[in-house]
Amino acid sequence: MGKSMENSTKLLRAWTIRTERGMAKTLMDNILAGKDLTNTQVLVARADMIFGMDHLRTALYHAERAIEDGTNSSDSLSMETLLYASAERQLSTAIKKMSVSDQTEELVVAQLAGGPLEPDETWRELDDTTDLTADRLLRFGVTKTELSTIGGRSPLDLVLERVAAVDILKK
């Protein structure tokens, strides 16, 4: 039997980093090249597509389970986690949706597993007090119909449901 979500994601740490437009790719490259990342799995994504630690935790758990079960779409834990975090079926679509671009002003850096990744003093720990506006959820791919059905539940539940649904979409 597989690990629990708590055990599977116990090494997860994540931060947000603000940057100037046009500098996100360079910042990402510097983070990935400038650290000793031996045995460390790091995910870098647009902050506007990450909805807090629960979102990352759920994506990481499903990615690890897919790798364990042999149903993974990628050979990398980072890329498999990106796929699940995006709630997309295809890795190419996930990359387009989640990757930093010249327009990115805030990104998330997540240590998924392994060795040391020390944050810079300008990095802020990612928490779950994230902006769950309808506009942001729609950009992520949540539909207006889905938004109208949540009632008293947290809008984050829609994101987490979409992450879990990747297992079904991949089949």
CATH of residue 118: 3.30.2380.10
85: amino acid identity, one letter: A
Q: Is the pLDDT of residue 109 over 60?
A: yes
Contact 2, 106 (CB under 8 A): no
Q: Is the pLDDT of residue 92 over 80?
A: yes
Q: What is the pTM of this model?
A: 0.92
Count of structural domains, the chain: 1
Domain span at residue 72 reads 5-169
Q: How far is CA 152 from CA 96, 148, 149, 157, 165, in A?
A: 32, 11, 9, 11, 21
pLDDT in tens, 112-163: 987 778 888 999 999 876 788 999 999 999 999 999 998 889 999 999 999 9
Q: How far apart are CA 97 and CA 79, in angstroms?
A: 13
Laid out side by side, the sheet with 13-18 consists of 41-46, 106-113, 13-18, 124-125
